[in-house]
Amino acid sequence: MPANLENTLVIGISSRALFDLERENSIFENEGLNAYAQYQRENEKRVLEPGTAFPLVEALLKLNDKLGEHMVEVVIMSQNNPQTGLRVMNSIDFYNLAITRAAFSGGESLGPFLSAYSVDLYLSKNLEDVQDAIDHGIAAAQLYAPPGGFNPDADEIRIAFDGDAVLFSEDSEVIFKQQGLDAFLEHEKVFASLPLPEGPFGRVLKTLSRIKSLSDKPLVRIALVTARDRPAHERVILTLRSWGVEVDEAHFLGGLPKNEVLRAFNAHIFFDDQDKHAGPASEHVPSARVPYKTSSELYDKDAPGPDSAH
């Protein structure tokens, strides 16, 4: 395993994001740490069922074999202690997942350790942990419960992103919040040739695009799914071009619901900053919300914006 992860996509993932630990989490919340630890020790040999991010992680790790290069690294990042984490590692062995690194912090914040493990993206079902990662400058998202009956593509990893406040900064969305739709559209038209500032998942997209380019075979498929429409589409396309990134699909929905498009795309994961989109999508495909804080906090983040119905 390479010590230099500079060109590798490193994903830090909580044990509850990778495996179904909802029963165990309920024991922890209702009965306390000791009861939880005892339950985990008593069930160390009992294999955990896959969680929301399992299909994505399994598919990404298989990329290394398909490409013949170590381009994806997954690290378990858990506040469990090493003793209670043993069940997680046993389950990793059972599913033959190529995960060798793990951080069990024994209840301490994971945020300070993320950079030490060169994490590019952190996935968890715990909002506080996700916000902690964001506060430490790491792209992060909170996963929803897995959709029932999800059947991922076996040959191609499909990843979908929202635009504003995910791939791009929230700057344009601020204009919408403060000045309305007409002002937003006019602003995007006037500044169409000026690339949008990079958002929290910009680097993740660029890394995936680079990995995608390593093979002539369709191993990774990327979609942009946004409520932007004409004329606000042009700035997005020109921004991606300036980044040297080509997405396979772009859906400019103009306020139409995103969930049906995502079901048709059959995403392994969908990232959006608003629950009103990510929530309904999570009924069809694994989904995650990207929380963020604006520097000025001048507007209500959950109000309709350019990536919501208008």
Within 8 A by CB and 6+ apart from 139, the residues are: 120, 121, 122, 133, 200, 201, 203, 204, 290
Within 8 A by CB and 6+ apart from 204, the residues are: 9, 120, 121, 139
Beta bridge partners of 198: 168
32: left (phi over 0), alpha (psi -120 to 50) or beta: left
How far is it between the farthest Cα atoms of the chain?
63
User: Exposed e or buried b for every residue in 145-168, given b needs 16+ CB within 10 A?
Assistant: ebbeebebeeeebbbbbbbbbbbb
3-state SS, 59-105, equals HHHHHHHHHCCCCEEEEEEECCCCCCCHHHHHHHHHCCCCCCEEEEC
CA distance 132 to 125: 13
Considering only CA atoms, give the Rg of the chain: 20
Yes or no: say if 164 and 173 are a contact pair by the CB < 8 Å rule: yes
Catalytic residue among 120, 132, 162, 307: 162
In this structure, which amino acid lies at residue 145? A
CA distance 129 to 111: 8
Q: What's the gap between Cα 299 and its chain centre?
A: 24
* 162 counts as catalytic: yes
H/E stretch holding 24: helix 22-31
Within 8 A by CB and 6+ apart from 222, the residues are: 159, 160, 161, 205, 208, 209, 212, 247, 248, 249
Catalytic residue list: 162
